[in-house]
Amino acid sequence: MKELSELTFPDDVIYSDDHEWAKMENDETTIGISDYAQDQLGDIVFVELPQVGETFEKGAEFGTVESVKAVSELFLPVGGEIVAVNDALEDEPELINNQPYTGGWMIRIRLGNPSELDHLMNKSAYLESLKG
């Protein structure tokens, strides 16, 4: 595992306590797991994601990620309707390890309640929580 200083934490995303990130783009929010989360998991070998059109509440489990170490649940940092799923992860789950904020994004949702974004952490707050 890497030191925090070796990991990437973009300023343009917000983070959840469960190590998911969210990035608003127009009326959609892209969601994935943080560089810290993928580093803790190790080599990711399989991802199970929901179907487009499904709706989830904030905090609901929306899928799983399987690594050589463990299977971990994925939790939505904000609620809404799934409008896109990163199908590339089916054949290349390692994109999450290599590009957690770009090619390794998982889903896009249309927010049910935009105020839920207010409860997520900016980069500095997230880093403080990791040091905690």
CATH number at residue 54: 2.40.50.100
| 3-state DSSP assignment of residue 10 | coil
Q: Cα(92)–Cα(54) distance, rounded to whole angstroms? A: 23
pTM, full prediction: 0.95
Q: Does residue 92 lie within any of the structural domains?
A: yes
pLDDT given at position 96:
98
Per the structure, the count of domains in the chain is 1
Q: Does residue 131 lie within any of the structural domains?
A: no
pLDDT given at position 4:
94
Q: Does residue 128 lie within any of the structural domains?
A: no
Q: Does residue 39 lie within any of the structural domains?
A: yes
17-44 b/e (C-beta count within 10 Å ≥ 16 → b)? ebbbbbbeeeebbbbbbbbbbbbbbeeb
- Is residue 93 over pLDDT 90? yes
Q: What percent of the chain has pLDDT over 70?
A: 100
pLDDT given at position 26:
86
Q: Does residue 126 lie within any of the structural domains?
A: no
Q: What percent of the chain has pLDDT over 90?
A: 95
Q: Does residue 130 lie within any of the structural domains?
A: no
Tell me which residue range forms the domain holding 78.
11-115
Could you count the other beta carbons within 10 Å of the beta carbon of residue 118? 9
pLDDT given at position 27:
85
What are the tens digits of pLDDT across the range 11-69?
999 999 999 999 999 889 999 999 999 999 999 999 999 999 999 999 999 999 999 99
